[in-house]
């Protein structure tokens, strides 16, 4: 890149920004002041990072409802302005789970824990550890298993234990109690994200401390009571939905997610091992939420009556587009009447020199090209970077999958992305105003276009490939709650497509690794190198299929 060419270009752009800044009218300045008010509230520490299902999310949803009401919208959720939905967080060990040895009540987590594939059941028996008798719990020292597989990078200890449990159950064991006398770490824990099918008997791990305190003598008889109670862990997220009904046959959906990372509890912070730090998410995505509120005001005041308008602030986007997926599966208007969807995610960091706005979904309707050709340097200071794909890492993807034309607006990544430093004082408010004006003009220009035609586009690769040397080329469905990884989409000419996988398939095994969750899938992938091949097992409807893949 030529430095000289760059500096000349930015000089010219600075000049053009100067003239545009002078042209701001009183009403425009009011929009900018409103944006500052919305974002400084939504990104305040008081809202604790607006994590879906928390009090911070509730405060934000109340603010957005109030602003929608002030803008003159009508509530269009399932519960007034709100549309509550359940977020599956995996599973948890319920407190009634117990392990009693000779009347000593062991402490959950410090002394013992069940493995996630344990069925919920109770066992009560007199046991001698050294004897494997029928109808009593059996004991297994993990020592041999760990030593035998010390050099095996593909060793999956949980799968090996499960296999043992199945064998022991067939020989009469009613539970499997694990302990580890070797110096090799087993790294076992209760993994609530694990969704493998249950083993026939409960498998409970005893810590070295519990072994030393309560089971010293291999030949003594012990009274043992085990109860396993594992339940679903859920929390409730809330979309906020307002409607502008013009009595038109079709409706334009405008959306932006308002949730963010909270304190990073869901493991989606870019700061490793972050604790007690609020991720305010000013750009991601208080900026889009503020734009949504301002567009509601501007569109309510406009003369464009050929469409109705539905404004949705989505929750749980950060967990895998959960809010928008829930809405498209449980819409509060007839989805067949949706004309198109506009998504704003991170629109607050316009670069003042380049003024580049990324526009995704450009290929989802032939009309987008026509409408954008109407923008000139006289009508907007923005320059556009077009991406034709209807999919991407935000909520428009959910609408594209329902064959609805979409546009996705985004001012670009920055070093504060998913960090506690994404704060309101770093927002380019005037830049965001230009984005809002552009969208308002676009909506106005579409008023006479009637119903927009939909076109399918290529899929965007959204796997975080940096951590892996190989990928399958699928988009996992992060909201899937069954066992395995459900495929949401398959990229062209990638290993998964070549192996014949399709959207809707549920991947259950990759090579020697059984796969129960997206996390497990990621772990399995990290064990392969480019050029290697393996087999993938997956379910399609009721069929179990197998194919070979080459990375
Ligand atoms: Zn985000």
Distance 313 CA to ligand 1 centre (A): 14
> Looking at residue 219, what is its pLDDT?
87
Distance 156 CA to ligand 1 centre (A): 32
- What pTM value is reported for the model? 0.72
| Residues 124 and 201 reside in one and the same domain | yes
Distance 178 CA to ligand 1 centre (A): 40
| Residues 208 and 353 reside in one and the same domain | no
In a domain, residue 7? The reply is: no
- Contact criterion met (CB below 8 Å) for 500 and 536: no
| Residues 294 and 439 reside in one and the same domain | yes
In a domain, residue 454? The reply is: no
| Residues 254 and 380 reside in one and the same domain | yes
CB-side neighbour CA atoms (13 Å) of 270: 15
Distance 14 CA to ligand 1 centre (A): 30
In a domain, residue 8? The reply is: no
| Residues 83 and 121 reside in one and the same domain | no
Distance 351 CA to ligand 1 centre (A): 19
Stated as kind and residue range, the H or E segment containing 30 is helix 26-42
The residues near 93 (Cβ < 8 Å, ≥ 6 apart) are: 108, 113, 114, 190, 229, 230
| Residues 499 and 372 reside in one and the same domain | no
Query: How far is residue 36's CA from residue 549's CA, in Å, rounded to a whole number?
Result: 51
Buried b (16+ CB within 10 A) or exposed e, 46-55: ebbbbbbbbe
| Residues 313 and 238 reside in one and the same domain | yes
**Is the Cα torsion angle 296, 428, 433, 257 positive or negative in sign?**
negative
In a domain, residue 458? The reply is: no
In a domain, residue 400? The reply is: yes
The single-letter DSSP state of residue 493 is T
Distance 52 CA to ligand 1 centre (A): 12
Distance 418 CA to ligand 1 centre (A): 6
Query: How far is residue 417's CA from residue 7's CA, in Å, rounded to a whole number?
Result: 26
DSSP states of 211-243: HHHH---TTSEEEEEEE--EEEEEEEEEEEEEE
* pLDDT digits 0-9 by tens, 473-522: 888 776 677 788 888 888 888 899 999 999 899 999 998 888 887 777 87
Task: Write down which residue in 211, 228, 245 finishes a domain.
Answer: 228
- Contact criterion met (CB below 8 Å) for 237 and 57: yes
Instruction: Report helix, strand or coil for 365.
Output: coil
Distance 344 CA to ligand 1 centre (A): 12
Task: Write down which residue in 178, 205, 228 finishes a domain.
Answer: 228
Distance 260 CA to ligand 1 centre (A): 6
Distance 284 CA to ligand 1 centre (A): 5
- Contact criterion met (CB below 8 Å) for 269 and 326: no
Distance 69 CA to ligand 1 centre (A): 26
Nearest-10 crossing angle of helices 429-446, 366-373? 120
Distance 490 CA to ligand 1 centre (A): 23
Q: How far is CA 417 from the centre of its chain?
A: 15
Total domain count, the chain:
3
Per-residue pLDDT of the chain (551 residues; tens, 9 = 90+): 112 223 333 333 333 444 444 578 999 999 999 999 999 999 999 999 999 999 999 999 999 999 999 999 999 999 999 999 999 888 899 999 999 999 899 999 999 999 999 999 999 999 998 888 999 999 999 999 999 999 988 899 999 999 999 999 999 999 999 999 999 999 999 988 777 778 999 999 999 999 999 998 888 999 999 999 999 889 999 999 999 999 999 999 999 999 999 999 988 888 877 888 999 999 999 999 999 999 999 999 999 999 999 999 999 999 999 999 999 999 999 999 999 999 999 999 999 999 999 999 999 999 999 999 999 988 999 999 999 999 999 999 999 999 999 999 999 989 999 999 999 999 999 999 999 999 999 999 999 999 999 999 876 544 443 445 678 888 877 667 778 888 888 888 889 999 999 989 999 999 888 888 777 787 788 788 888 889 999 999 989 999 999 88
Task: Write down which residue in 228, 262, 278 finishes a domain.
Answer: 228
Distance 483 CA to ligand 1 centre (A): 26
Query: How far is residue 342's CA from residue 323's CA, in Å, rounded to a whole number?
Result: 15
Distance 318 CA to ligand 1 centre (A): 5
Distance 285 CA to ligand 1 centre (A): 7
Distance 271 CA to ligand 1 centre (A): 13
* pLDDT digits 0-9 by tens, 477-488: 766 777 888 888
| Residues 154 and 290 reside in one and the same domain | no
| Token pair for 325 | 């997926």
Distance 541 CA to ligand 1 centre (A): 32
Determine phi and psi for 481, rounding to 5 degrees.
-110, 0
- Which residues have beta carbons under 5 A from ligand 1 (an ion)? 284
Range of the domain at 331: 25-89+234-446
Provide the β-strand partners of residue 127. Answer: 222
| Residues 362 and 250 reside in one and the same domain | yes
> Looking at residue 479, what is its pLDDT?
66
> Looking at residue 110, what is its pLDDT?
93
> Looking at residue 469, what is its pLDDT?
65
* Integer angstrom CA distances of residue 372 from 92, 109, 449: 50, 59, 13
* Integer angstrom CA distances of residue 497 from 103, 432, 485, 544: 57, 39, 15, 17
Query: How far is residue 507's CA from residue 478's CA, in Å, rounded to a whole number?
Result: 13
| Residues 285 and 423 reside in one and the same domain | yes
């Amino acid at each position: 890149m030529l430095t000289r060419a760059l500096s000349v270009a930015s000089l010219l752009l600075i000049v053009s920004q100067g003239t545009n800044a002078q042209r701001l009218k009183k009403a425009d300045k009011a929009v900018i002041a409103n944006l500052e008010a919305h974002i400084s509230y939504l990104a305040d520490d008081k809202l604790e990072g607006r994590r879906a299902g928390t009090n911070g999310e509730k405060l934000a949803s109340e603010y957005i409802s109030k602003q929608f009401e002030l803008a003159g919208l009508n509530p269009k959720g399932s519960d007034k302005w709100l549309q509550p939905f359940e977020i599956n967080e995996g599973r948890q060990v319920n407190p009634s789970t117990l392990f009693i040895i000779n009347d000593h009540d062991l402490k959950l987590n410090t002394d013992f824990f069940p493995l996630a594939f344990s069925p919920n059941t109770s066992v009560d028996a007199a046991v001698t550890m050294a004897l494997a008798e029928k109808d009593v719990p059996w004991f297994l020292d993990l020592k041999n298993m760990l030593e035998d597989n010390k050099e095996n990078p593909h060793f999956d200890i949980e799968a090996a234990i499960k296999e043992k449990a199945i064998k022991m159950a067939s020989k009469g064991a009613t539970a499997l109690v694990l302990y580890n006398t070797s110096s090799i770490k087993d790294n076992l824990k209760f993994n609530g994200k694990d969704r493998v099918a249950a083993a026939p008997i409960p498998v409970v791990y005893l810590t070295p401390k519990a072994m030393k305190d309560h089971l010293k003598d291999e030949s003594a008889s012990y009274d043992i009571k085990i109860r396993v109670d594992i339940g679903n862990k859920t929390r409730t997220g809330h979309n906020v939905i307002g409607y502008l009904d013009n009595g038109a046959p079709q409706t334009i959906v405008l959306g932006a997610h308002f949730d963010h990372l909270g304190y990073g509890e869901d493991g989606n912070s870019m700061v490793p091992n972050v604790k007690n730090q609020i991720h305010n998410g000013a750009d991601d995505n208080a900026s889009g939420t503020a734009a949504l509120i301002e567009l509601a005001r501007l569109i309510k005041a406009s003369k464009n009556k050929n469409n109705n308008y539905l404004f949705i602030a989505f929750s749980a986007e950060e967990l895998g587009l959960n809010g928008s997926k829930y809405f498209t599966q449980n819409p509060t208007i007839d989805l067949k009447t949706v004309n198109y969807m506009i998504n704003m995610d991170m629109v607050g960091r316009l670069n003042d020199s380049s003024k580049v706005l990324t526009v995704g979904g450009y290929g989802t309707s032939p009309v987008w090209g026509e409408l954008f050709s109407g923008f000139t340097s006289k009508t907007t200071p923005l320059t556009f970077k077009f991406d034709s794909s209807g999919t991407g890492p935000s909520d428009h993807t959910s609408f594209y999958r329902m064959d609805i034309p979409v546009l996705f607006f985004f001012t670009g990544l920055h070093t504060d992305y998913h960090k506690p430093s994404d704060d309101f004082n770093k927002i380019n408010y005037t830049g965001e105003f230009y984005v809002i004006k552009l969208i308002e003009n676009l909506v106005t220009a579409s008023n006479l276009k009637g119903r927009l035609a939909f076109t399918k586009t290529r899929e965007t690769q959204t796997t975080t490939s940096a951590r892996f040397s190989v990928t399958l080329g699928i988009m996992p469905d992060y909201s899937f709650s069954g066992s395995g990884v459900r495929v949401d989409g398959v990229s062209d000419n990638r290993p998964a497509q070549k192996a014949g996988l399709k959207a809707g398939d549920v991947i259950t095994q990759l090579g020697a690794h059984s796969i129960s969750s997206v996390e497990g899938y990621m772990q399995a992938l990290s064990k392969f190198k480019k050029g290697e091949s393996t087999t993938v097992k997956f379910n399609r409807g009721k069929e179990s299929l197998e194919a070979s893949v080459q990375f």
